[in-house]
């Protein structure tokens, strides 16, 4: 008999019918002899609705009150799900984050979990009940309601699984797993049976928004086996796990192709080539709270240098303003910005032990006449910045080049 934590997202509990379907699914696991703790999100659209109500009153809603408000979404779902379980003859009890005592810091709207009290949940499980916990919320030391940031129910699920030492944390969503790339871009994208935490983090931070990034970090840190699966269709989903559990036979060198459309590129040209220049250019960017991603520096023959880096598109104009000031001070020639670029990355732990991934990647892009503007690598990822008009073509070509295409499609 095992203990499973199941998290159901907003679409999975989006109507009374769907809540009843979730209850039936939970009962099936109970009948198989498992203990089940369920974490639910608010019904789909509800959190957005609550936030817009707040914004009708305050342009920037007071964070403490916003958390009191949005946490009600999940409170509705836990009660309804327990009622649905009882109707099926399954004893169940709902708890808000504060009632469990999911203790967080006091950073309203983006709180971090510090400690979870498992006693009450364990007693209920012992008594044969299903425990239903509100996702996305906690309580701080002073008793204030806090929330964990958008998509935070994933993190609640993983954190409960870690605290309860559950055998698996199952994240039920509207897709049937993690794909080799976005199926809307590549028709031949396939569901992965397994992926490592590290790969999932790279895929997630690059825009595959299946799971909240923090939940994957959390799962990796506490080694909680995490499974992403569909609430609407049967299937094994994708298991996210540690590296060692893979057999080398089934492991592909590259697991997926990720991409990010929100990139913008800024170049400072003709900067005097002296020590300290990069830091003088980038320090004010950091102070302006702008995150810098890929950085490239080129040397020119005339003792000057060009420094180019990417930022989120929303930050481009702010970054350009900040940079223009320093560029003038340094006597740089010009600052140019370009928001028609995207980042495409190949991700895979297999890169650690296989050479030639970069050359395969560059060859595939060259064959399609796609110009690479910038390159960056990490241990398990190679990213390129290219013109946005080549995004789909690049992702499709790389998907094929690394043998990720589905056999028949």
Q: What is the dihedral sign for C-alpha 395, 397, 403, 405? A: positive
Range 212-231, binding ligand ASP (CB under 6 A):
none
Contact between 237 and ligand ASP by CB under 6 A: the answer reads no
Contact between 97 and Mg ion by CB under 5 A: the answer reads no
Binder of residue 42, out of ligand ASP, Mg ion, none (CB less than 5 to 8 A by kind): ligand ASP
Among 20, 101, 150, 320, binds ligand ASP (CB under 6 A): 150
Binder of residue 122, out of Mg ion, ligand ASP, none (CB less than 5 to 8 A by kind): none
Tokens of 141: 């030391």
Contact between 41 and ligand ASP by CB under 6 A: the answer reads yes
Among 7, 9, 136, 311, binds Mg ion (CB under 5 A): 9
State in Å, rounded, how far the first CA of the chain is from the last one.
39
- Write the DSSP assignment of 93-140 as a string of letters: EEE-HHHHTEEE-S-TTS--EEEE--HHHHHHHHTTPEEEEETTEEE-
Contact between 10 and ligand ASP by CB under 6 A: the answer reads yes
- Which range in 145-153, 174-182, 275-283, 295-303 contacts ligand ASP by CB under 6 A? 145-153
Q: Residue 348's CB: how many other CB atoms inside 10 A?
A: 25
Contact between 152 and ligand ASP by CB under 6 A: the answer reads yes
Instruction: Determine contact, residues 392/343, Cβ cutoff 8 Å.
Output: no
Contact between 157 and ligand ASP by CB under 6 A: the answer reads no
In whole angstroms, give the CA distance from residue 125 to residue 7.
17
What is the dihedral angle through the alpha carbons of 217, 218, 224, 230, rounded to the nearest 10 degrees?
A: -70
Residue closer to ligand ASP (CB basis): 150 or 188: 150
Instruction: Determine contact, residues 240/225, Cβ cutoff 8 Å.
Output: yes
Among 61, 97, 135, 348, binds ligand ASP (CB under 6 A): 135
In whole angstroms, give the CA distance from residue 8 to residue 22.
8
In whole angstroms, give the CA distance from residue 279 to residue 269.
15
Residue closer to ligand ASP (CB basis): 10 or 177: 10
- Residue located via tokens 């690394």: 402
Q: How far is the CB of 380 from Mg ion (least distance, A)?
A: 25
Range 151-180, binding Mg ion (CB under 5 A):
151
Among 47, 215, 238, 304, binds ligand ASP (CB under 6 A): 47
Residues engaged in binding ligand ASP (CB under 6 A): 9-10, 41-42, 47, 73, 135-136, 150-154
Residues engaged in binding Mg ion (CB under 5 A): 9, 151
């Amino acid at each position: 008999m095992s203990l499973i934590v199941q998290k159901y997202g907003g679409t999975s509990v989006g109507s009374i019918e769907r809540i009843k379907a979730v209850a039936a699914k939970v009962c099936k696991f109970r009948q198989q002899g498992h203990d089940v703790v369920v974490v639910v999100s608010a019904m789909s659209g509800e959190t957005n609705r609550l936030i817009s109500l707040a914004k009708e009153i305050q342009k920037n809603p007071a964070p403490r009150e916003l958390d009191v408000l949005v946490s009600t979404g999940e409170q509705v779902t836990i009660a309804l799900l327990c009622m649905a379980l009882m109707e099926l003859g399954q004893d169940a009890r709902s708890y808000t984050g504060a009632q469990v005592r999911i203790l967080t810091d006091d950073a309203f709207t983006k709180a971090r979990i510090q400690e979870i009290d498992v006693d009450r949940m364990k007693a209920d499980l012992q008594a044969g009940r299903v425990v239903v916990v509100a996702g996305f919320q906690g309580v701080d030391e002073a008793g204030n309601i806090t929330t964990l940031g958008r998509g935070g129910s994933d993190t609640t699920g993983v954190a409960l699984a870690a605290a309860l030492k559950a055998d698996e944390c199952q994240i039920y969503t509207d897709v049937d797993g993690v794909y080799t790339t976005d199926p809307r871009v590549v028709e031949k994208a396939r569901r992965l049976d397994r992926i490592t935490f590290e790969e999932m983090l790279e895929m997630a931070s690059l825009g595959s928004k299946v799971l909240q990034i923090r939940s994957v970090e959390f799962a990796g840190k506490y080694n909680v086996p995490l499974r992403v699966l569909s609430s609407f269709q049967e299937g094994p989903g994708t298991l996210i796990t540690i590296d060692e559990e893979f057999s080398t036979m089934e492991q592909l060198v590259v697991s997926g192709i990720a991409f990010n459309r929100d990139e913008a590129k800024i170049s400072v040209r003709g900067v005097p080539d002296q020590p300290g220049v990069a830091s003088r250019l980038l320090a004010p960017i950091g102070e302006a709270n702008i995150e810098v991603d890929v950085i490239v520096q080129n040397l020119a023959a005339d003792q000057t240098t060009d420094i180019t880096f990417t930022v989120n598109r929303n930050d481009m104009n702010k970054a350009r303003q900040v940079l223009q000031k320093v560029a003038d001070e340094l006597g740089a020639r010009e600052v140019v910005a370009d928001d028609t670029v995207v980042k495409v990355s190949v991700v895979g732990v297999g890169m650690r032990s296989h050479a030639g991934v970069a050359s395969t990647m560059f060859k595939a892009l060259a064959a399609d006449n796609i110009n690479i503007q910038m390159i960056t690598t990490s241990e398990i990822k190679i990213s390129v910045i290219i013109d946005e008009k080549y995004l789909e073509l690049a992702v499709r070509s790389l998907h094929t080049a690394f043998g990720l295409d589905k056999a028949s499609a």
